[in-house]
Amino acid sequence: MNQILLKTTGLSLSFGGVTACDGIDFELAEGERLAIVGQNGAGKTTFVNICTGYLKPSAGQVFFDGEDITGLSPRKITRRGVARSFQIPQLFAEHTVRECLLIAASARRDNLGFFQSIDRSVDVVSVDETLKLVQLAERSHLQARLLPEGQRKLLDVAMALVLNPRLLIMDEATSGVSSEEKHGLMETLMQALSERNVTSIFVEHDFEIVERYATRIAAWIAGKIAADGPPKQVLEDPEVIRNVIGG
Amino acid sequence: MTTEMFILATLDGLSAAALLFMVALGLTLIFGVMGILNVAHGSLYAIGGYVAATLGLAIDKFGLSPALYLPALFLAAILIGPLLGGILEVGLLRRILGKDHVLQLLVTFAAFMILEDVQRLVWGTQPYFVSNVMTQFGNTDILGITYTNYQMIVIPVVAALAYYGLRYFLTKTWLGREVIAMTFHREVATAMGVNAKLVSLLTFVIGAGLGTLGGALASPSTALLPGVGADMIVQSFAVIAIAGLGQLGGAALAACLIGLSRSFAVYLMPELAVLTPYIIMVLVLLVRPEGLFAATSMRRI
Amino acid sequence: MFIRLVTVALIILTVIIAHSFPWLKTPVIFSLCNGLAVLGVIVLIRAGQVSFGHAMYSCAAGYTVVFLARAYQLDGLLLIGLATMVATAFSALLGLFIVRYRGIFFGMLNLAFSMVLYSIISKFTTVTGGTDGLSFSRPQLAGFILERDAFETALLYMVLACALICGLLAQRYFESAPGQALGAIKTNETRLEYLGISAKHVFWMGYLFSGFLAGLGGSLFAIAQGLVTPEAGYWVRSGEFVFIAILGGSGHAIGAYLGAFIFEFVRFYAAALLTGAWQITLGIVLIVIIFLAPEGLVGMLTRFRLPARR
């Protein structure tokens, strides 16, 4: 039985009258590839935002690797081994693709050379590997703001990946990527993740992707987890079909 | 501190506050509507003062009636403010509207530099001190203190009139409401039919007028020499930073705060007098950077 | 690279001036000193922030030089070193508060602190000499007692060396991990936090460096002038630093010096030729640059590069 990496107990958050998160009890074990599905507004991103420190819950706790991380800042949570990518890619618009990754990689080192070129003070090998992985190697000298939408997404994921996290949370990583490339990309990503022993959560709307790559699916409906289990089981659940897939 | 000193300090403070408020009002109005911090506003203040002084001297030189002294001050302000302001707005600021805010500010800084030289070239470096208006209004005794009516009454009254006049304009007139619409969102206002160019020009002209009016009214009690503009702009800036950029009524309170703390400091520890506005500014910015009277609290990083 | 050519050309020009046109030594020294302070401002511009109070660090360094020189008759090199340390410590302290702010609040807070310093210096006349300033006699340099000409030449080379070294250090810093992270503050500070990097810490380190540069420039300036006045810390001086940063361009460290040279020489010649209308001239120059070349001279020089690379 693998170790429990992420755990929430009674996690709740309400905005005004809306309950975005309703007493979520949840556990994620190392090595799992969890897909979170649900309609817009069901609470998926809120859940992710709380787990990554962007929001504070009104009740409940979050544990990472046994440690209570409830209410910690995003920076502290990231340093503990949780990395995330965003629905709207968060890049350094004026830096080049490669520079974005170099900056991300620099987070892994505590002692940064002040007058030493960043190329020499970070793990350039892993940066270049990651560039190849997301197929951005040819565009590495392009300014991030010049990338088309799909590649901005990839860069966003790459920046999280290069942190060598234990848990990678991806928020709609392949939306905006063309359908021919989606599968190839997810295949490579997932391969890399399992090679590096990275547990992953991905918020997804594409059910083909979900079916193919997830080891487990959690379906969110109105702030609660309505179904949670192996893909086949969840995808055949009538509640899920009615409220998530059908809609 | 004796009662006399207390009264003197209070009167000094309120009079200074009234002048400072008028100038700051113009500055903050322009920022609120156009999003530009006009460094050259200080130059408008100085030039307003210089022109008023020049008119005063001319009145004496040509043996005209002393009754013209006060109107001359207003004339100076109303002529110069809108004129210079208009030139600045149309010639310069209108063309930098889309640009980075720092560049906008630097353009006004460049205008400030140019106008500093203009002042020096036109009026020289000798101080101008034309105080006829002040003597004209005489003094009043209050509880053992003799104070000039001009500083005690005329200035605060004009400042109050200016403020309430502006408020009336902004809230009760059609054009004024368009100005307010622009402060909220320029593009939306334009989409709803507000003539942005006209409104901007008008706002700037009013703001500039307030600046020159402040300078003109200050000229009887302040010596005009190179540097007064620079001094006034940084003080006005302190006022609006403390009040909150774009806060009109708040600027009055901030001006009082600064004026009174300065005047009391003069009597208690003179070296601190110049210091107090900026210490207050530091404290306010550290604790509530959006200003004391801003509506919403700014989320600091 | 084109910029390297420009740098070498400037150095050669400086040396020629030192030996052929001795009356130009002073403006050159002043240019380089200002350039150092402006380089400090440029460091912060890289983070997308503009300080309107950086003259306070050059001013603080300058007054430290004067106080120490009058009290202890120290060697010039020691004065420079100590004064720069004081300015750096000052910026480290203020930085703790200031780096929490961004945009206009950052600019205003720097302004406010600088005006506090300015007011203290102008008013506590007995200690600081007030608006007249304080002067001191020419110190030894590295143990040598030098006559005025030799002193100026030695100072020129010293300032040139400092400017060159600091320029190289600054460029290195821009290319380094903390420097790149500093640049990221401008575009997406939140993402830095999500990478586990403390933006405040990165910014503080940049602020420290900028305070050091302004302090170094200020101490050298004080030594060159033999006099410090409160004007050295006035808001107009801080504004001039920002002016020069935009004029020269913040894309590369050389921009600080290019801008400073142009500023100083226009001032020098306008003072002589245009009955002192140097502010009008410079004002017009600034306006023209903002409209036609907002990235400054450096921007113009590097316009020939591909748009992909910054």
Q: Above 80 in pLDDT, residue B161?
A: yes
- Nearest residue of B to residue C277 by CA position? B117
At C305 the pLDDT is: 53
pLDDT in tens, A188-218: 888 888 888 899 999 988 888 888 889 999 9
| pTM greater than 0.90 | yes
**Interface touch C243/B92, C-beta < 8 Å:** no
Q: Which is nearest to C79 in space by CA: C279, C223, C273?
A: C223
**Interface touch C308/A52, C-beta < 8 Å:** no
User: Distance (Å, rounded) from C-alpha A47 to C-alpha C238?
Assistant: 47
Contacts of C255 (CB under 8 A, 6+ apart): C42, C245, C248, C249, C296, C297, C298
Flag residues of chain C having pLDDT under 50: 306-310
Cα of C125 to nearest chain B Cα, Å: 9
At C306 the pLDDT is: 44
User: Distance (Å, rounded) from C-alpha B20 to C-alpha B236?
Assistant: 6
**Interface touch C123/B107, C-beta < 8 Å:** no
Contacts of B198 (CB under 8 A, 6+ apart): none
Cα of C109 to nearest chain B Cα, Å: 6
- Orientation angle between helical segments B3-34 and B196-218, nearest 10 degrees: 160
CB crowding C188-210: b at 16 or more within 10 Å, else e: bbebbbbbbbbbbebbbbbbbbb
Task: Yes or no: say if B78 and B201 are a contact pair by the CB < 8 Å rule.
Answer: no
- Tell me the torsion sign for CA atoms A82, A83, A85, A86: positive
**Interface touch C109/B289, C-beta < 8 Å:** yes
CATH number of B3-287: 1.10.3470
Chains A, C: CB contacts under 8 A, how many? 104
Task: Yes or no: say if C90 and C120 are a contact pair by the CB < 8 Å rule.
Answer: no
- Choose the closest CB to B103 out of C123, C235, C290: C290
Q: What is the span of the domain harbouring residue C55?
A: 24-234
Count of domains in chain C? 1
**Interface touch B301/C101, C-beta < 8 Å:** yes
At C308 the pLDDT is: 43
Phi and psi for A187 in degrees, rounded to 5? -55, -50
Query: Looking at A76-80, B23-27, B268-272, C44-48, which range is the least confident one?
Result: B268-272
Q: What is the mean pLDDT of chain B?
A: 88
Task: List the end-to-end C-alpha distance of chain B, in Å, as a whole number.
Answer: 44
Percent of chain B with pLDDT over 70: 98
Q: Which is nearest to B275 in space by CA: B265, B287, B285?
A: B265
B110 has a chain C CB within 8 A of its CB: yes
User: Distance (Å, rounded) from C-alpha B84 to C-alpha B66?
Assistant: 27
In C21-102, alpha helices (H): 25-46, 55-72, 76-98
- Nearest residue of C to residue A77 by CA position? C196
Provide the pLDDT confidence category of residue B287 given band limits of 50, 70 and 90. Answer: very high
Residues in chain A closer than 8 A to C197 (CB atoms): 75, 103, 106-107
**Cα of A142 vs its chain's centroid, Å:** 24
At B300 the pLDDT is: 37
Q: Which comes out higher in pLDDT, residue A174 or C186?
A: C186
**Interface touch A94/C194, C-beta < 8 Å:** no
In the sheet with A18-29, reading across from the earlier edge strand, the strands are A18-29, A4-15, A59-64, A67-68
Where in chain B are the domains? 3-287
3-state class (DSSP) for residue A221: strand
The two three-digit tokens of residue B261, written as one number: 């703390």
At A195 the pLDDT is: 81
pLDDT in tens, A133-151: 888 899 999 999 999 888 8
ipTM entry: 0.92
Burial class (CB in 10 A: 0-12, 13-18, 19+), B150: buried
At A1 the pLDDT is: 55
Residues in chain C closer than 8 A to B277 (CB atoms): 115
Residues in A 29-68 with any Cβ partner in C closer than 8 A: 52
pLDDT in tens, B229-252: 999 999 999 999 999 998 888 999
Question: Within a domain: residue C281?
Answer: no
Contacts of A196 (CB under 8 A, 6+ apart): A164
At B59 the pLDDT is: 86
Percent of chain A with pLDDT over 90: 44
At C225 the pLDDT is: 93
User: Distance (Å, rounded) from C-alpha B186 to C-alpha B107?
Assistant: 21
Question: Within a domain: residue C223?
Answer: yes
**Interface touch C194/A73, C-beta < 8 Å:** no
**Interface touch C112/B281, C-beta < 8 Å:** yes
Q: Which is nearest to C112 in space by CA: C101, C127, C123?
A: C101
Task: List the end-to-end C-alpha distance of chain A, in Å, as a whole number.
Answer: 36
The two three-digit tokens of residue B240, written as one number: 């609006």
Q: Above 80 in pLDDT, residue B170?
A: yes
